[in-house]
Amino acid sequence: MSQELVRTAMAAAPGDVPPPLATPALLPQAKRVKEDPSFPQASPVVPAMTAEDWSKWSTLPPDLVRCIGDSLLSTNDLDCYIHFRAVCPGWRAAADDPMSDTSDPRFHPRRWIVLNEDFQSEGKLLLLNTDNGRFVHRKLPLLSDHYVVATTRNGYLVLADKSPPHSASVLNPLTGVVIRFMAPVPPEVGHAAVSLASSALGLTLFGDSSHKIYSAYPDNKSSVVHEAQQAAYVFFRNAVVGGVYSDTIGHAVIVRLCRSLMPPDANHLCFPVALGREMLLVGTAERSFFIFKTDIELSKLEDVDTINNYAIFIGHQRCLAVYADKFIGIEANCIYYTENLGSSARICKCGIKDRKVEKISETADFIKKDKKFVLVADRPSTIIDLLASYTINIPDSRLALQQIP
């Protein structure tokens, strides 16, 4: 109800209202009422509003305006909230500014991922909310002035200044808020994660070539450096970069829990995945899958034979869960994974309860190119293709690529 109110008011806003950052593109819901194709359909038209009507909208009580804004924040529709604040000065004054307190968790992206991570195309990117199935297109001019180092599991972009010493920044693409760090980004870094502390965002950077882990807060002039053995480093990186978990659980707690329950082993992958208030450990071992529910207080695991209306996508780089009812073609209570065929790969589906494996297509879905798997180009991409691609590929840091002769 509140989103309809926002859309109507935005459509009626006068020309001097600051334009929104982008227009959200809505994906059709999985369950739709079929329309009669013989009956012509017309798009609803928002009636023109008179000055008197507009005056009523712009003078809504501040308490009501805040209530509407809170409803958008409760679903983490941060882009809609930015549009909402841009309608008129009165609404902007009544609704909290995301830039006023960058540590406020209401304005941090949750369950968002960046799908098309090709930052060469004029700074355009596509975000997806894995809970409600909503796509948001963004064009960010800031990307042309920075090197994109990494995207994080919750939708942040980690940037580095193009000029030495390449200071780090964290960009929230949904609100446009940039948090600048004093510490530089080491050239070798290719993976990153962002965590929410009590008063500031924490940045964790990973250097695969040296197995070094860098951590910093905005006011730190340099990063704290940790060195780890290869097996421990890979396990830590996969857990922090590749998993999806609650921001209320810190990196150290997650990794300590994972290691106590599932010791590092080069022969399997293990990712923490949050579903609501529960945290799962999802992984592969010898071409089989395991899903455990974790009890953080007791440090124990319980077998899971159902994840209800969710589906899990897992690859050798990342793992994520999506709410299947919001995506056409995705089956609930299943694991989607990519089978490596050497120079190609294909997507398979495995039922969690019956362990029945099915191929999504008879032919290869990916071909290997420059050590990465790319989607076969002679067919349209489905949402399953896009999510599978997200889990098996992590783009190279643009800063790291500049160091290659």
**Containing H/E element for 191?**
strand 191-196
- The per-residue pLDDT for 36 is 46
Residue 335 burial (C-beta neighbours within 10 Å; 0-12, 13-18, 19+) = buried
- The per-residue pLDDT for 362 is 83
For residue 246, what are its two tokens? Answer: 């609650």
- The residues with which 195 forms a beta bridge, in sequence order, are 202
- The per-residue pLDDT for 293 is 84
For residue 254, what are its two tokens? Answer: 């997650």
- The per-residue pLDDT for 29 is 39
Among the listed residues 22, 223, 48, the one whose alpha carbon sits nearest the alpha carbon of residue 125: 22
Give dist(CA 218, CA 35) in Å, integer.
53
Q: What is the pLDDT of residues 11-31, one digit of tens each?
A: 444 433 333 333 333 333 334
Q: What is the pLDDT of residues 275-319, one digit of tens each?
A: 877 788 888 766 678 888 877 666 677 888 899 999 999 988 899
Contact between residue 136 and residue 40 where contact means Cβ atoms under 8 Å apart: no
For the chain, which residues score pLDDT lower than 70? 1-55, 116-122, 197-199, 244-268, 285-287, 296-299, 404-405
Strands (E) in 29-174, as ranges, are: 112-114, 124-129, 135-139, 146-151, 157-161, 167-171
Strands (E) in 48-121, as ranges, are: 112-114
- The per-residue pLDDT for 32 is 40
- The per-residue pLDDT for 44 is 55
Contact between residue 391 and residue 338 where contact means Cβ atoms under 8 Å apart: yes
- The per-residue pLDDT for 395 is 84
For residue 130, what are its two tokens? Answer: 């894995």
